[in-house]
C-alpha cells in the first residue's frame, strides 16, 4: 500500500506510485487549510465545504481551523513509475495556480489507513527487510500469538490490522508479553504496537529491533569531552531541534567560558532566527501530529518519570557541568541545581493524569436539559527563556510543568550557561521523549528570545530574568499574537530581624539569605532590617562568619564560595559597591575582586544604609549584604520601609512572637514570606512575585495553570 506522509514540499506533476490506490493529500495556503490535488491542477467538487464529506470509496477533508475556505479534490494514483514527484523539502507552487502552495500533509489509502509524518520517500527507497530462515520462524511464532489474541480472525496475513480485528488495550499488553517470551526477552513498548498496527508492519519493526538496527534510535552526537572531577564529561554543544543535534544556520558558534579561570570550555552553536523557526515548526508538528498528543496522560507521566531517573543517574555529570559552566559550588549543585531539578520532574510527572476539568450546573433550556463541562487543555508550543544563575533548575521548574500539561517546548538557555540544557536535551532522547517535543537553542536574547516572543506559532512564553527585559517580552507577546506569558523578574527582598528572635539562627539564615549560591539567587535578601538593640551584635557575628567562608575552586569539596557567573557580572558588582561607598554607606568587609584567576568576588557587608541610597533600592544579584537599622518595637514603621519598593518576590521575618510573625506576613507585599527560615522552597509550593517582580507561578499545582487553557463545552439533550 502507498505510504505518503508529510513530505515538507513536493511538486506533483503526474502519477505517483506503482501500486493502485486512492490517495488523499493536503494542499494549503496557510497552516491548517487543507485541500486535495488531482492530476496537474486542483479540481473542486461541489461537496467540498468546511466539513468532511464522504462519497463512494473516497473522502474529502477541509480546513481544520476555518481561517480560510479550503478546496478539495481527489488524486488517483495508478500503477506506474514514480514520475513527476520531486522531494524538494519546501512547499512548491501548484502548476495551475502559482500563487498557491502544495504542502503534502497526509495520505489515506483505500483500506482507510491514514499515514502521517515524513516517511514516504525514505520507506519507498528502501525495500522491506528480507527475513532469514530463523526470522521467518520467529514471524510464524508471532503469527500464532496474533491468532490466539484475535480468535475471530480466520487467517492472519500481512494486512491484518490488530485493532480493526477487535484488539483492545489489554491485548496490547498481552502481545508485548507474548513477544517477550517468544523473542528471548525483547522489550517492546505499548506504543510500538500502536505505531505498527498491521501484522506485516509489526514483523518488520520486530525484526529491526532483534537485529539492533531500528531506525528510530538516536543519531550520532558530536560531544566535547573533558576529564574532570574524576569523570569523563561528554557534553553536546550544538542546537537541539526535532530530536537531533545540528549546527546553527551558517555554522555560527560562540565561546562558553569557565568562570573559575576564564578559560574557554568549548564552542557552542549560536542560534539564528531561521533556527528558531525550524525549532518552532518541529515543536508545532510534534504537538499537532506527533505521538506526544496521542499517548495517554499516564504514559506521558511515565516518560517524565523516566527522564527524572536519567537525570538522577547523571547527577554527578550534570553538577560538574554546572560547576564548570556557571561556577556553581559542586556540592551545592548536587543538592540544589540538580537535586531539585530531579524532584521537580518527579513531582510534575505525578500530575500528568490528574489534570481534570469539572461539570457545572447551568440553567436548563426547558423542556430540554443542559450539561456543561470544562476541559483543561495544553496550550501548544511554548517558549521558555531561562537565566544563568540556576541553569538546569530554572529550566526544570518551567519545562516540567509545561510538558506535564502536554505542551511542546523551545528552550532558550542563557547564552553564558548553555551546557546543562544541551545535556538535558540528550537525556530526553534517552528517556524516549518523542522528537520535536523538546528543542534547545543556545543564543542571544536579542535574536532567539526576541524571535520566540514574536513568533506567531508560539502560544506561551515563560521567562525568568530582569524586570526590564520582562517588560520588553510582555510587549512583544502582546503585539505579536497576544501570547500567554508568565514572568519571574527582579527582586529586592526584605528580611526583618527582631530582637526577640533566636539570634544564632538569624545569623545563620541571614548569611544564607545573602550568600547562598554566591548571591546569584533571585530571592536573595536584598536588604536586612535589624532591630536597634541587637544590630551591633548581629553585624559582629556576621563578619566573623564571613571570615570563615572558603573561597576557591567550586569543584573542591571544602569550597563554600565560588566565582561569579561571568566577567560582566563581576564588573557590575564592583561598580555597585563603589556607588555604595560614594553615597556614604559603611563598607564593613569585602567589596573587591579576589586577586586570583577567574571571576571571584569577596563576600561583602554594608551597614548604615539609608533608604534613599542606590544600594538600598536596587538589586545587586551578588554576595552583598545590605544592613539597615530600625527603632526597637516600631513594627509598622519597618513594614512601611520594607514595602517601599516596586519589587515583591520574597521576604522574611525572624521573631519568636507568633502574633507578630502572622501580622507581618499579612502585611508584607511579596509572593513568598519566610518565617524563621529562608530559601526554603519546595517543588510542591507555588513560587512567584508581586508588583514588578512579575506574575504567574512556578512549582506546585498552580504552575500547571500557566501551561493550560480552559475550554467550556455545553451539551443540550
- The string of DSSP codes covering 570-590 is HHHHHHHHHHHHHTT-EEEE-
The predicted pLDDT at position 347 comes to 98
Q: 3-class SS at 44?
A: coil
The predicted pLDDT at position 307 comes to 98
Q: Return the CATH fold of 494-682.
A: Aldehyde Dehydrogenase; Chain A, domain 2 (3.40.309)
- Nearest alpha carbon to residue 27 among 47, 45, 49, 43: 43
Q: 3-class SS at 168?
A: coil
Secondary structure string (H, E, C) spanning 457-491: CEEEEEEECCHHHHHHHHHHHHHHHCCEEEEECCC
CATH number of 133-211: 1.10.1200.10
The predicted pLDDT at position 214 comes to 58
Which DSSP helix (H) or strand (E) runs through 283? helix 273-288
What gap in Å lies between CA 405 and CA 707, rounded to an integer? Answer: 6
3-35 residue pLDDT tens: 333 333 333 333 333 333 333 443 333 333 333
- Positions in the chain short of pLDDT 50: 1-92, 94-97, 101-102, 105, 108-114, 116-126, 215-217
Residue pair 115/40 in contact by the 8 Å Cβ criterion: no
Residue span(s) of the chain under CATH 3.40.309.10 come to 494-682
The predicted pLDDT at position 116 comes to 47
Q: 3-class SS at 618?
A: coil
Dihedral sign, Cα of residue 438, residue 443, residue 449, residue 450: negative
Catalytic residue list contains 322: no
Residue span(s) of the chain under CATH 1.10.1200.10 come to 133-211
Q: ∠ at Cα 142 (137, 146), nearest 5°?
A: 145
- Which is the catalytic residue, given 322, 488, 602, 619? 488
What gap in Å lies between CA 670 and CA 678, rounded to an integer? Answer: 14
Contacts 24+ apart (CB under 8 A), 320-323: 320/228, 320/229, 320/231, 320/233, 320/555, 321/233, 321/235, 321/419, 321/420, 321/423, 322/391, 322/392, 322/420, 323/229, 323/260, 323/554, 323/555, 323/562
The predicted pLDDT at position 192 comes to 84
State the architecture of 238-488 in CATH terms: 3-Layer(aba) Sandwich (3.40)
492-527 residue pLDDT tens: 999 999 999 999 999 999 999 999 999 999 999 999
Amino acid at each position: 500500500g502507498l505510504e505518503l506522509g508529510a513530505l515538507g514540499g513536493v511538486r506533483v506533476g503526474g502519477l505517483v506510485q506503482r501500486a493502485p490506490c486512492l490517495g488523499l493529500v493536503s494542499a494549503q495556503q496557510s497552516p491548517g487549510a487543507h485541500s486535495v490535488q488531482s492530476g496537474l491542477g486542483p479540481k473542486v467538487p461541489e461537496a467540498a465545504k468546511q466539513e468532511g464529506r464522504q462519497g463512494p470509496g473516497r473522502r474529502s477533508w477541509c480546513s481544520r481551523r476555518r481561517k480560510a475556505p479550503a478546496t478539495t479534490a481527489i488524486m488517483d494514483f495508478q500503477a506506474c513509475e514514480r514520475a513527476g514527484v520531486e522531494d524538494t523539502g519546501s512547499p512548491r507552487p501548484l502548476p495551475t495556480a502559482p500563487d498557491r502552495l502544495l504542502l503534502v500533509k497526509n495520505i489515506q489509502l483505500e483500506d482507510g489507513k491514514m499515514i502521517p509524518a515524513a516517511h514516504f520517500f525514505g520507506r519507498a527507497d528502501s525495500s522491506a527487510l528480507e527475513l532469514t530462515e530463523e526470522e521467518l520462524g520467529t514471524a510464524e511464532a508471532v503469527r500464532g500469538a496474533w491468532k490466539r489474541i484475535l480468535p475471530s480472525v480466520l487467517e492472519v496475513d500481512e494486512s491484518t490490522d490488530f485493532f480493526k480485528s477487535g484488539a483492545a488495550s489489554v491485548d496490547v499488553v498481552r502481545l508485548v508479553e507474548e513477544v517477550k517470551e517468544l523473542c528471548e526477552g525483547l522489550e517492546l513498548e505499548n506504543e510500538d504496537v500502536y505505531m505498527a498496527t498491521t501484522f506485516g508492519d509489526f514483523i518488520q519493526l520486530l525484526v529491526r529491533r532483534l537485529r539492533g538496527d531500528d531506525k528510530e534510535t538516536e543519531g550520532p552526537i558530536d560531544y566535547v569531552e573533558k576529564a574532570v572531577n574524576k569523570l569523563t564529561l561528554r557534553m553536546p554543544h550544538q542546537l537541539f531541534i526535532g530530536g537531533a543535534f545540528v549546527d546553527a544556520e551558517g555554522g555560527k558558534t560562540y565561546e562558553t567560558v569557565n568562570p573559575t579561570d576564564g578559560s574557554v570550555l568549548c564552542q557552542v552553536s549560536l542560534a539564528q532566527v531561521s533556527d528558531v523557526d525550524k525549532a518552532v515548526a518541529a515543536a508545532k508538528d510534534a504537538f499537532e501530529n506527533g505521538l506526544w498528543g496521542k499517548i495517554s496522560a499516564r504514559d506521558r507521566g511515565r516518560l517524565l518519570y523516566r527522564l527524572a531517573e536519567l537525570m538522577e543517574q547523571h547527577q554527578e555529570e550534570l553538577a560538574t557541568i554546572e560547576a564548570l559552566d556557571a561556577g556553581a559550588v559542586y556540592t551545592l549543585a548536587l543538592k540544589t541545581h540538580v537535586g531539585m531539578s530531579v524532584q521537580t520532574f518527579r513531582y510534575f510527572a505525578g500530575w500528568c493524569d490528574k489534570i481534570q476539568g469539572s461539570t457545572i450546573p447551568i440553567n436548563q433550556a426547558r423542556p430540554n436539559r443542559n450539561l456543561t463541562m470544562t476541559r483543561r487543555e495544553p496550550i501548544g508550543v511554548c517558549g521558555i527563556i531561562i537565566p544563568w544563575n540556576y541553569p538546569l533548575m530554572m529550566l526544570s521548574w518551567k519545562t516540567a510543568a509545561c510538558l506535564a500539561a502536554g505542551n511542546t517546548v523551545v528552550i532558550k538557555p542563557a547564552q553564558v550557561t548553555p551546557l546543562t540544557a544541551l545535556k538535558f536535551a540528550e537525556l530526553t532522547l534517552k528517556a524516549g521523549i518523542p522528537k520535536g517535543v523538546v528543542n534547545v537553542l543556545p543564543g542571544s536574547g536579542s535574536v532567539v528570545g526576541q524571535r520566540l516572543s514574536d513568533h506567531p506559532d508560539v502560544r506561551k512564553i515563560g521567562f525568568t530574568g530582569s524586570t526590564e527585559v520582562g517588560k520588553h517580552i510582555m510587549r512583544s507577546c502582546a503585539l505579536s499574537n497576544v501570547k500567554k506569558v508568565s514572568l519571574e523578574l527582579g527582586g529586592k527582598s526584605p528580611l526583618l530581624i527582631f530582637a526577640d528572635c533566636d539570634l544564632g539562627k538569624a545569623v545563620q539564615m541571614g548569611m544564607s539569605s545573602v550568600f547562598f549560591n554566591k548571591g546569584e539567587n533571585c530571592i536573595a535578601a536584598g536588604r536586612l532590617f535589624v532591630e536597634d538593640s541587637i544590630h551591633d551584635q548581629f553585624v559582629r557575628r556576621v563578619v566573623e562568619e564571613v571570615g570563615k567562608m572558603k573561597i576557591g575552586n567550586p569543584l573542591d569539596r571544602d569550597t563554600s564560595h565560588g566565582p561569579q557567573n561571568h566577567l560582566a557580572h563581576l564588573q557590575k558588582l564592583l561598580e555597585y559597591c563603589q556607588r555604595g561607598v560614594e553615597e556614604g554607606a559603611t563598607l564593613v568587609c569585602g567589596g573587591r575582586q579576589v586577586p586570583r584567576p577567574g571571576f571571584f568576588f569577596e563576600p561583602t557587608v554594608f551597614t548604615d544604609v539609608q533608604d534613599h541610597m542606590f544600594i538600598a533600592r536596587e538589586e545587586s544579584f551578588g554576595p552583598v549584604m545590605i544592613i539597615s537599622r530600625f527603632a526597637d518595637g516600631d513594627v509598622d514603621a519597618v513594614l512601611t520601609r520594607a514595602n517601599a519598593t516596586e519589587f515583591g518576590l520574597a521576604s522574611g521575618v525572624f521573631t519568636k512572637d507568633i502574633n507578630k510573625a502572622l501580622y507581618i506576613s499579612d502585611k508584607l507585599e511579596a509572593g513568598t514570606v519566610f518565617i524563621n527560615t529562608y530559601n526554603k522552597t519546595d517543588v510542591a509550593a507555588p513560587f512567584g512575585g508581586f508588583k514588578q517582580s512579575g506574575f504567574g507561578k512556578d512549582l506546585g499545582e498552580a504552575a500547571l495553570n500557566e501551561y493550560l487553557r480552559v475550554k467550556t463545552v455545553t451539551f443540550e439533550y
